[in-house]
């Protein structure tokens, strides 16, 4: 078990000053988007903790744990005050933003059967005051803002290693997370889909060669409309799989040569967490 306490003090002492070339001070921007809010000296007393139980089993162990962790807003989320040529191009932090409180339940198992082993964990995370990057939904004013919502996240991760022979190994890993903004009943942006990899490895005294298949499922739970949500996702993304090959050769005890190729078949694919670029549509 463990206990953690954080004392946080935040202040923006120049929030009343207009930056050069800017017609509005940070405090004037905060007031527009957060009901007259001003950047004041802010104190937080954040308490977190962990309680975990582990139990040994034959050739492995299991565990279950509950935890509370608190994440304070960073400087961008709290104090950014970027004006724009139009109101919709503004990006304004929230000086009144509350810290996130994560309450997580997690369970897992590790088991080693000699030729193979498995490591599996599952979790549920209930978040009070999740710090959401969102949009200010008013006509001709779609500025980027931050606000607190409640959220739930569920997920799992697993890794399996299997020794096929003295020189051959098979490794498999997969992970998934489901995230929901429960205050607004919508998906949270920038959440990866189900994804993983399968790798075949050949290893002898001098050579290591690996063939790895990386893959991801489609991601259809998105927040891609800035008119109704955050618009941080560019859209739904299809599933994909690509093959990587690489190898390493030990020439002697001190020198090795590594070489390889990612995406051997030159397949076009889209990482969901990569946002689009204004310079490369």
Give the integer Cα–Cα distance in Å for 80 and 30.
9
280 — pLDDT class (breaks 50, 70, 90): low
Give the range among 20-34, 155-169, 199-213, 247-261 with minimum mean pLDDT: 20-34
* Residue at token pair 């809010």: 37
Q: Give tens-digit pLDDT for 109-141.
A: 999 988 999 999 999 999 999 999 999 999 999
273 — pLDDT class (breaks 50, 70, 90): confident
Does 279 or 146 have the greater pLDDT score? 146
Q: What is the mean pLDDT of residues 152-171?
A: 96
Two tokens, residue 274: 């990569």
* Residue at token pair 């204004």: 278
Total residues found in the chain within this entry: 281
- Of 271, 265, 182, whose CA–CA distance to 233 is shortest? 271
Strands 81-82 and 116-135: unpaired
User: Which pLDDT does position 276 carry in this prediction?
Assistant: 67
Residue 277, pLDDT > 80, answer: no
Q: What is the mean pLDDT of residues 193-214?
A: 95
Interior/surface letters 211-220, b for 16+ CB within 10 angstroms, e for the rest? ebebbbbebe
Q: Which residues neighbour 243 within 8 Å (Cβ) at sequence distance 6 or greater?
A: 211, 212, 213, 214, 263, 264, 265
Q: Give tens-digit pLDDT for 20-46.
A: 777 899 999 999 999 999 999 999 999
Q: How far is CA 34 from the centre of its chain?
A: 26
**Cβ neighbour number for residue 226 with a 10 Å cutoff:** 15
66 — pLDDT class (breaks 50, 70, 90): very high
User: Which pLDDT does position 279 carry in this prediction?
Assistant: 65
User: Which pLDDT does position 97 carry in this prediction?
Assistant: 97
Residue 281, pLDDT > 60, answer: no
């Amino acid at each position: 078990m463990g206990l953690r306490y954080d004392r946080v003090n935040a202040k923006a002492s120049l929030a009343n000053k207009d930056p050069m070339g800017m017609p509005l001070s940070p405090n004037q921007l905060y007031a527009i988007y957060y009901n007259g809010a001003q950047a004041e000296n802010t104190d937080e007393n954040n308490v977190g903790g962990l309680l975990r139980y582990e139990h040994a089993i034959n050739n492995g162990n299991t565990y279950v744990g509950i935890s509370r962790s608190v994440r304070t807003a960073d400087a961008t989320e709290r104090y950014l005050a970027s004006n724009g040529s139009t109101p919709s191009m503004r990006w304004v932090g929230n000086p009144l933003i509350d810290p996130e409180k994560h309450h997580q339940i997690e369970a897992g198992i590790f088991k080693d059967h000699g030729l193979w082993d498995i490591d599996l964990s599952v979790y549920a995370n209930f978040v009070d005051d999740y710090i959401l990057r969102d949009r200010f939904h008013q006509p001709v004013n779609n500025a980027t803002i931050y606000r607190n919502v409640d959220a739930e996240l569920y997920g799992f991760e697993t890794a399996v290693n299997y020794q096929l022979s003295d020189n051959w190994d098979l490794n498999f890993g997969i992970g998934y997370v489901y995230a929901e903004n429960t205050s607004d009943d919508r998906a949270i942006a920038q959440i990866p889909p189900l994804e993983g990899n399968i790798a075949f490895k050949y290893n002898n005294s001098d050579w290591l060669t690996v063939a790895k298949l990386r893959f991801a499922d489609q991601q259809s739970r998105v927040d891609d409309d800035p008119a109704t949500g955050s618009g941080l996702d560019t859209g739904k993304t299809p599933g994909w799989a690509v093959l990587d090959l690489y190898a390493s050769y030990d020439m002697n005890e001190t020198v090795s040569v590594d070489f390889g190729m990612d995406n051997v078949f030159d397949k076009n694919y889209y990482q969901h967490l990569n946002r689009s670029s204004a310079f490369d549509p």
